[in-house]
Every structure is written in structure tokens, then in C-alpha cells.
Amino acid sequence: METVFKLKAKELDRSFIDSVKNLFKDREIEISIKPTQDETDYLLNSPANKKKLLEAIKEVKQNKNLIRFTGKEFEELYEKMLSA
């Protein structure tokens, strides 16, 4: 079993440790800690990607190039994708 916990450092407390102990019982575990990268920063890191995303945001705000469908159309598409 592999589990990933994402939390702020200030949220590390005794109850978190207890929950990890309870989850894994007497099994040997490995704990690796690294700071997470903000997804928005990551997506905006590439100049080309940033330009595309900002243009897409602008279009949404201007109500342009949107794809609309009803709930029923969405369900039909969903079922079609599941059966593919």
C-alpha cells in the first residue's frame, strides 16, 4: 500500500502521527518529505503555456469559444466514453 499525504507543515501534530501509526500498524514504513510545487506556478512557468492559459482565461471571461452542452448530453458523452 502506498499513501500520499499533502498537508501544511503546521498541520503536523500528534494526531497525524497517531493516524499514520494506526494505518500501517507494525509495518516498516518510509517517510519522504518535500515541499510541493504550486500547480498554478508550475503551469505558468513555461512562457508558451502561460500565454495559452492567459488567453483561455480571457476568452472565458469574454464568454468566447465556449463549448456548452446539457446535462443529458454530458451523460450521453460520459456513457459513450465508458463503452469505448
Given a cut of 90, whether residue 79 has pLDDT beyond it is yes
Given a cut of 90, whether residue 75 has pLDDT beyond it is yes
CA atoms of 14 and 46, how far apart (whole Å)? 40
Residue with cell 498541520: 11
pTM for the whole structure? 0.45
Residue 65: φ, ψ to 5°? 55, 35
User: What are the domain boundaries of the chain?
Assistant: 9-83
Given a cut of 90, whether residue 38 has pLDDT beyond it is no
Tell me: the pLDDT tens digits for 5-30?
889 999 999 999 999 999 999 999 99
The pLDDT assigned to 39 comes to 86
The three cell numbers locating residue 37: 510545487
Given a cut of 90, whether residue 41 has pLDDT beyond it is no
The pLDDT assigned to 35 comes to 87
